[in-house]
A and B are shown apart, each in its own frame.
Chain A
Amino acid sequence: MPLLEISHSVKRFKDEAGQSHPVIDIDSFGLEEGEQVALKGPSGCGKTTFLHLISGILAVDEGSIQVADTDLSQLSEAGRDRFRAKNIGYVFQSFHLMRDYTCLENVELGMSFGPGADQKFARSLLERVGLEHRLDYRASALSVGQQQRVALARALANRPKLVLADEPTGSLDEENARVALSLIRELCQENGAALILATHDQRIVESFERQVDFAALNKASAANAGGLAQ
């Protein structure tokens, strides 16, 4: 049973003149439970919008996106929020930690809107990413690599079925990026979460068994590129 099924999904945005243009136009895409996939593509090809659609932050204009047997296109915005809080983990390129929150509080935030606070699990996640000695440190006092690890722990705090990672190593140096990547993959595997990792870094893409060229998958990006070319 696939965890994610996307069929004939279109998302349009209006330009400054009020004209509606498709930015996402995907015929079909799927992901099995626990599967890990790298989405490769240049900046601006719609990867982030695609992740926003899968997480329910945005709604499709046409088609359907089914995650864990739930058709997000049939849910209200509040329904998608509830769904995301319980089923989706998110890792952002610039981590987006709460700077004045401690590491523990940041991880607890990841479960606050979904399953509810579970400090024991939050601690265990931070221990797993090697930050057991930084539980009460403010996020602003951490190094970039440590921030990335807190962000990863937060993404797994709600015990998600699917983790979406948007350029998660984009802010790290090569060594930290390599460590972070392997940690993301290990943790998703340990927690039974599938992973979609969007990146433009070819070396990262090559470390995945399944690689998807997003520019090819998204018909709108090809059309937009053509438009730009003209």
Chain B
Amino acid sequence: MSPIGMAAKGLKQRLVSSSIAASSVALSGCLLMLVWALKSEAERTFAAADGGFDAVLGPRGSKLQIVLNALYHLDESPGLIRWNDYERIKGNRAVVAAYPIAVGDNYLGIRLVGTAREYLENHEYREGRQFKVEAGGALFQQKALEAVAGSQAARQLGLGVGDTFHPYHGLQYNADARHEEIYTVTGILEPTGTPADKVIWIPVEGIQTMSGHDPNAATDVSAVLVKLRPGANMAGFQLDMLYNKRGDRLTFAWPASRSILQFFEKLGWFDQVLQAIAGMVAIIAGAGITAVLYNAMNERQRDIAVWRALGARRRTVFSIALLESLGITMSGMVGSFLLYGMAGSGIARFIRNEAGVAMDIFAMNAAFWWTPIGLLAIGLIAGLAPALKAYRTDVTKNLI
């Protein structure tokens, strides 16, 4: 029987305590990977989910709020901008495309977003990827009471082509705030993995002229999504100067993804707290392994003495104890990936539902090798005291 077999036997003998120790290792590994890998994947996907736009023009206010509202369909709109602001930036030579965004209504809690048909027709939300309407559907006609549902919104509401609905005022569903208009769904968008999936798209005029809305704002929009001409970095700076430094009425959020990254940077302290918690859990897990194995070595003094009497060298019994520690750690490591898979999928699903951003939780990340390496190191350190205990076992005293 090899030392590995003897270590495995030892772990099997103490299945319950070994499993508890392995579970704590699994938990700490899962936490470390969640904090580390999931967070960087969230940063990456959120930054990449800019819908193919370089900037957002919105009312004076927080860039982050404008970006979250116009691009990610989260948060409230900080206000309105004039139609001619939209036309002016659309006419700028450095701008290759600009689309108006108008928000303020919902259907059963799902946000209605008013825009131009060209946005869904021509825009590439990712390089080489355009919106597609599922078979049997079509895009809405501008100025018509027609709607195109994002894939996730359609699934959530059970909407299909030909279905009709009344919009409700506000971004939160309130049964008493029903608008009189009746919209007909003309198409369902194929999934894009972007926030566009989680809203219902209608013509921008629909939001502007919805019954009950302020007629004075009938030509206003919430924001303008802007795509600059490739290589027009200087134009970005110039527009930044124009709107943010010299002007005082509008905000030009450029680059759009920077606001999101700045948002994650602001959450850095929280990230550090989570990392510290995960680190502490890892240390506790290590202490758990030490306790389990140290007690086991106490109970197994006689067995160790017998091994020694049969010719096992001190370093052999030392390595058997260390192998047991590594066995617990490696079981925990496998468990940590399983837990990470489950927890990560749950969190990714939640983020997908809430923000419409599709995350790949197993995208390559240094956390996937540094975490196991760290856990193995903890396992080795945790196994040292029990292994020394085994190493020092007095054969003659324990063979009585």
**In contact, B312 and A113 (Cβ under 8 angstroms):** yes
Instruction: State whether the Cβ of B42 lies closer than 8 Å to any Cβ in chain A.
Output: no
B314 touches A158 (CB 8 A): no
Asked if B311 and A85 sit within 8 Å, CB to CB, the answer is yes
CA distance A48 to B309 in the complex (A): 12
- Closest residue on chain A to residue B309 by CB atoms: A90
Which residues of A sit under 8 angstroms from B364, Cβ to Cβ?
Answer: none
- Chain A residues lying within 8 Å of B314, measured Cβ to Cβ, are 77-78, 81
A25 at the interface (CB under 8 A from B): no
Bound together, the chains give a CA A84 to CA B306 distance in angstroms of 12
**Counting CB contacts under 8 A, is A112 at the interface?**
yes
Min CB gap B198→A, angstroms: 56
Contact string against B for A residues 113-131, beta-carbon threshold 8 Å, 1 for contact and 0 otherwise = 1100100000000000000
Closest to A78 in B: B313
Of the four ranges (under 10, 10 to 19, 20 to 34, 35 or more), the interface on chain B belongs to 20 to 34
Q: Which of A49, A81, A101 contacts B313 (CB 8 A)?
A: A81
Identify A158's interface contact among B308, B311, B399, CB under 8 A.
B311
Query: Does A92 belong to the interface (CB within 8 Å)?
Result: yes
Residues of A close to B309: CB separation below 8 A: 55, 57, 84, 90, 92, 96
Residues of B with C-beta under 8 A to A85: 310-312
Among A31-39, A103-111, A141-149, A190-198, the one that faces the other chain is A103-111
Number of A-B residue pairs, CB cutoff 8 Å, is 71
Q: Which residues of B contact A82 (CB under 8 A)?
A: 311, 313
Minimum CB distance partner of B303 in chain A: A98
Residue pair B315, A96 in contact (C-beta under 8 Å): no
Quick check: B310 and A108 within 8 Å, CB to CB?
Answer: no
Cβ of B9 < 8 Å from any Cβ of A?
Answer: yes
| Min C-beta distance of B18 to chain A, whole Å | 13
Q: How far is the CA of A52 from the CA of B309 in the complex (A)?
A: 9
Q: Are A84 and B311 in contact (CB under 8 A)?
A: yes
For residue A135, CB closer than 8 A to chain B, the reply is no
How long is the Cα–Cα vector from A86 to B312 in the complex, in angstroms?
11
Q: Which B residues are CB-close (under 8 A) to A100?
A: 9, 12-13
| Residues in chain B near residue A98, CB distance under 8 A | 9, 303, 306
B308-366 contacts to A, CB under 8 A, are: 308-316
Q: Given B2, B13, B302, B308, which contacts A112 in the complex, CB threshold below 8 Å?
A: B2
Interface membership of B307, Cβ < 8 A = yes
The answer to the question of B16 belonging to the interface, with a C-beta cut-off of 8 Å to chain A, is no
A177 in contact (CB, < 8 A): no
A89 to chain B, nearest CB (A): 9
Is B296 among interface residues, defined by CB-CB distance under 8 A?
no
CB distance from A88 to the nearest CB of B (A): 8
Known: A81-B311, A90-B309, A96-B309. 7 other contacts (CB 8 A): A48-B396, A57-B308, A109-B1, A112-B2, A113-B313, A114-B311, A117-B2
Which B residues are closer than 8 A to A by beta carbons?
Answer: 1-2, 6, 9, 12-13, 302-303, 305-316, 395-396, 399
Q: Which 10 A-B pairs have the closest CB atoms?
A: A85-B311, A113-B311, A81-B313, A96-B306, A84-B311, A112-B1, A113-B312, A100-B13, A108-B1, A78-B313
